[in-house]
Structure 1
Amino acid sequence: MNNRKAIRLTDAALRRRTLSSRWRRRHPQRHPRTSGCRQPEVVWINPPAHDFIAQTATLALAAYLTASGY
């Protein structure tokens, strides 16, 4: 009995796939293959500083002030 149910489900899935592929061919504008969204080329978790020397000096000053107790 379980085998019959599996065959019926497979037949239903095949019919559904056939109908949806037919529908896509008839109405391609209603069902695009892509989402239309482009992935970004680069994603930065921590973006690089524009001025590395200034950032390094700021970090060094902050470390100095923290160590000195200011």
Structure 2
Amino acid sequence: MQSRLIAVSNRVAIPTAGKVAGGLAVGVLAALAEQGGIWFGWSGRKTGQDPRDPVLETRGRITYATI
């Protein structure tokens, strides 16, 4: 049976142009890249609109689910 890691945090650090912020994000991304999984949390964007369904984006073995 293959297992996947599930990370839930208040903020998701989706890497842009190969750069990742902060130490915790680096560790979480390394674990997700090795094991495969999903990272769920806030995108960091403020919209002024009511919450919607999470936006899913897959890069390699990692799926980012942001709200």
Larger radius of gyration: 1
Q: TM-score range by the shorter chain?
A: under 0.3
| TM-score, scaled relative to structure 2 | 0.26
| TM-score, scaled relative to structure 1 | 0.25
Structure showing greater relative contact order (alpha-carbon pairs closer than 8 Å, 6 or more residues apart): 2
More helix, by proportion: 1
